[in-house]
Chains A and B, each alone.
Chain A
Amino acid sequence: MSADDRGTGRRPSRVRAGLVRMYPAEWRKRYGDELLDLLETRRLTPPTIVSTLRGAWDAHARLTEVTGVRRDRARIVTISASTIAAAWAVFALAAAGVAKSTEDTPFTAASRSHDLISVTRGSMSAVFALSTAIVVMGVIPVAGAAIVQFVRRRDWRGLGLAGVPVLAAAAVVVVGWLAGQAPARPVHGAANVIVASTLAALVLFAVSTSLAAGSAALRRVRLGAWSLRLLTYAGAAAAATMSLGLLVGGAYGLAVWIDEPDLFTSSSGLLATPLPLTWVGLLVVAVAAVAVADRATLQLLHVRRRLS
C-alpha cells in the first residue's frame, strides 16, 4: 500500500467517532477502528450519516450475522428490557397527549352521556396505570440490586450512571409541575405551543439520556438469575399492556367517532393542530412504540427457556 492510499488524512472528528459509537460494542471491537479510519477519508455528508446510522441499526439487529459474535443471554435480556422501557416512555408520551387532547368539557360530557365512550376511556386509564405499575415493579428491584453492587465495589462511575435516569425523571417531574403552575394560557396560543413542544423535547431527551446511561450501568453489573427473570417477565408484561392500551385507545377513538362525530371536526388538537391530525400523530407514535416493544419481547421470550 502506497502513501497515496492513505486517503486525505482528515482530522479525527467527534461526530465521526460519535457515529461509530452508535454500533454495538462487539462490532466496534472488531471493525470500529477501520470504519472510523474510512470515515475520516471523506466528507461527512447527510447520505454518509444516514448510511452509518442504518449500518449501526443493522449491526444491533443482526449482530451474529455481521460479526459471528453471539451475545450472552444476560446481555440480550438487559438490552431487550431497556428497549421496552424506552418504548414504554415514548408510549407514555403519546398517552399523555391523548389525555391532554381529551380533557376539555366536550369530551368529559361525551363520557357522561355515552356508556361506550365512558367504558373505553376508563379502560384506557386502567390499562395505562397497570402498565406503569409493571414498569416500576420491574425497574426498581433491578436498579436497587445494581446500586448495591456499585456501592459494594465502590464503582462510583456505575453509581453515577445509575443516577442519571433518577435525575432525569426528577427533572421532568419538576419542570412539568412548574409548567402546570404557570398562569392559564389560550390552548392554541404561541406560548402554550412553545411550552408543550419544549416539554415533549425535554421528555424525549430525558428518555434517550436515561436509556444510554441505564444501559451503560447495567453493562457494569452482573445480574443474578432472579433479576434477569424479573426483567423478562416485567418486560413481556409491559409490552403486552402497551399492546392492550393501543387496542383500547383505538376502541375509544372509534367510540367517539360513532357517538360524537362532531368532536372529530373540532380544532382542539395539541400544538395548534386539528384533532384528527393530533390523533393520527399520536397513533403513529404509539404504534411505533408498541412495535419496538413487541419485537424486544420476542427476543426476551426467545432466551427465556435458556435462562430457566
Chain B
Amino acid sequence: MSALQEMGRHADPALLVLSSVADGPKHGYAMTKDIEEFAGVSLQPATLYGAIGRLETRGLIVAMPADDRRRPYKLTGAGAKALEGRLRSLQSIARTGLKRLATA
C-alpha cells in the first residue's frame, strides 16, 4: 500500500495538497485557492491542515521558513514519487473506465 493510500479517508485531501505544491512551494491560503481552481473543491481549513500534518509526518512535504503567520510547504523527493505513483494509478483507472464506457 502506498503512503497516500495508508491515509484512508485523508488520502483525497492529501492528494490535492501534493498536486498543489507540485509546481512550487505554497502556504495554506494559496493552496486552498489553487485547489479550488484546479479541482473545484473548497477544502475546509481543518481538512487542509489535517492533510498537511499527515503529509509532513510522512516526509512527503516539508515546511519552509514562515512568512509572518504563513508557512510555505514544498514537495519532497518521496512526495513527488508518491504523487506520481497515485496519479499514474488514477490515470490507468480513468483510461480503463473511459475505454469500457466507449465500447458499452
Where the two chains meet, the residues of A that have a C-beta atom closer than 8 Å to any C-beta of B are: 1, 5-7, 27, 30-31, 33-39, 41-42, 47-48, 51-52, 54-56, 58-59, 64-68
- Sorted nearest first, the 9 A-B pairs with minimum C-beta distance are A55-B46, A66-B53, A51-B44, A38-B45, A68-B57, A37-B69, A52-B46, A33-B69, A51-B46
**DSSP class of A's interface residues: helix, strand, loop or mixed?**
helix
Q: Known: A55-B46, A55-B47. Is A38-B29 also a contact (CB below 8 A)?
A: yes
Secondary structure of the B side of the interface? Answer: helix
Known: A33-B69, A34-B27, A36-B69. A48 touches B44 (CB 8 A): yes
Most chain B C-beta atoms within 10 Å of own C-beta, residue among A34, A37, A66: A34
CB-contact partner of B45 in A52, A64, A67, under 8 A = A52
Nearest B-chain residue to A22, judged by Cβ: B46
Count the B residues whose beta carbon is within 8 Å of the partner chain — how many?
Answer: 22
Q: Once the chains bind, are B44 and A31 in contact (CB under 8 Å)? A: no
Complex CA gap A55/B27 in Å reads: 19
Contact of B30 with A by CB under 8 A: yes
Most chain-A Cβ atoms within 10 A of its Cβ — which of B29, B45, B53?
Answer: B45
A sample of 19 cross-chain residue pairs with beta-carbon separation below 8 angstroms, ordered by A number, consists of A1-B27, A1-B30, A1-B70, A31-B53, A33-B69, A35-B28, A36-B69, A37-B29, A37-B69, A38-B28, A38-B48, A55-B49, A55-B50, A56-B46, A59-B53, A65-B54, A66-B50, A66-B57, A68-B57
| Chain B nearest Cβ from A56, distance in angstroms | 8
* Cα separation A69 to B44 with both chains bound (whole Å): 23
Once bound together, how far apart are the Cα atoms of A42 and B44, in whole Å?
A: 10
Tell me if B32 is interfacial: C-beta within 8 Å of chain A.
yes
Pick the residue among A27, A34, A55, A64 that contacts B70 (CB under 8 A). Answer: A34
Q: 0/1 per residue, B51-79, Cβ < 8 Å to A?
A: 01110110000000001011100000000
Q: Contacts A5-B30, A31-B52, A65-B54: A42 and B67 contacting too (C-beta < 8 A)? A: no
Q: A1 CA to B69 CA in the complex, in Å?
A: 13
Q: Are A65 and B57 interface neighbours, CB within 8 A?
A: yes
Residue of A48, A58, A66 ringed by the most chain B CB atoms within 10 A: A66
B15-54 contact mask (Cβ, 8 Å, vs A): 1 or 0: 0000000000001111011000000000011111110111
In the assembled complex, which residues on chain B have CB atoms less than 8 Å from the CB atom of A38?
A: 28-29, 32, 45, 48-49
Chain B residues near A27 (CB-CB < 8 A)? 53
Q: Provide the bound-state CA to CA distance between A1 and B49, in Å.
A: 20
